[in-house]
Structure 1
Amino acid sequence: MVGVWSPAIAISPPDLSAIPLWVDLTNVPGYLYSKKGLSFLLRTAGKFVKLHPHTERCIRMDVARALVEVDLTKPLPNKISFKDKQGSDVMVSISYPWLPPWCASCAKWGHIEKDCLVLRSTVPKSPED
């Protein structure tokens, strides 16, 4: 994300509640390895945007990659479980090759704990400051 910098923006970082991310699916059944099938599966992760060119051209069949707008205010799923037409259990794994930094102190995306403004504002200042 690139934008014009200003002191006000530095104080209040941009909203990272929903961002587009590449999502990898493994163990996708052959009958779902299509734009329609993959976009159906990816609804659990977020709003489908597009397939990666390698997935679209079926260059890598071991991993299906797609760009998905994920809602970072909700837990990111790591598995999709469903029953196929024969009633067998199918488990598709979801992974995220890259995620933005996440702060364990304030539970927000976009920074790490050592850079957390919330944590800094709650830490009492020492007498030397």
Structure 2
Amino acid sequence: MRIGELSERTGTSRRLLRYYEEQGLIISTRSPNGYRNYDEDLVDRVMQIRGLLDAGLPTRIIRQILPCLNKPRIIHFPDATPEMIATLTLERDRMTQRIACLIRNRDAVSEYLDTVVGTSAPAPETSGVR
């Protein structure tokens, strides 16, 4: 597929896809006219990259762990450096904090909605009783 289709299917700008390629996160082949061609499996890969970037991981760490993510739930990286382990530990802890914050915010919004709906919604009529 061409870059436009990959962009559309992943919701990622063409510019970001080119950046991912520069960083060695994805690869493309070139057609004779110079257009980039991407494999179908890169749709999932780009989504993984976006998720890891959104989680706060730098591209240099993502580049190192991407090969480990080819098989879901099986991650083994024998060359993990102490820096990489420390970075991943820090990022995991930051994600946990953000998740806790999101849960608190979700619960607050739910409580607010319950209050608003409970006070502004008309009382349900009972069948046939007036």
TM-score range, shorter chain: under 0.3
Higher strand proportion (structure 1 or 2) = 1
Higher helix proportion (structure 1 or 2) = 2
TM-score, with structure 1 as normaliser: 0.23
Structure number, greater radius of gyration = 2
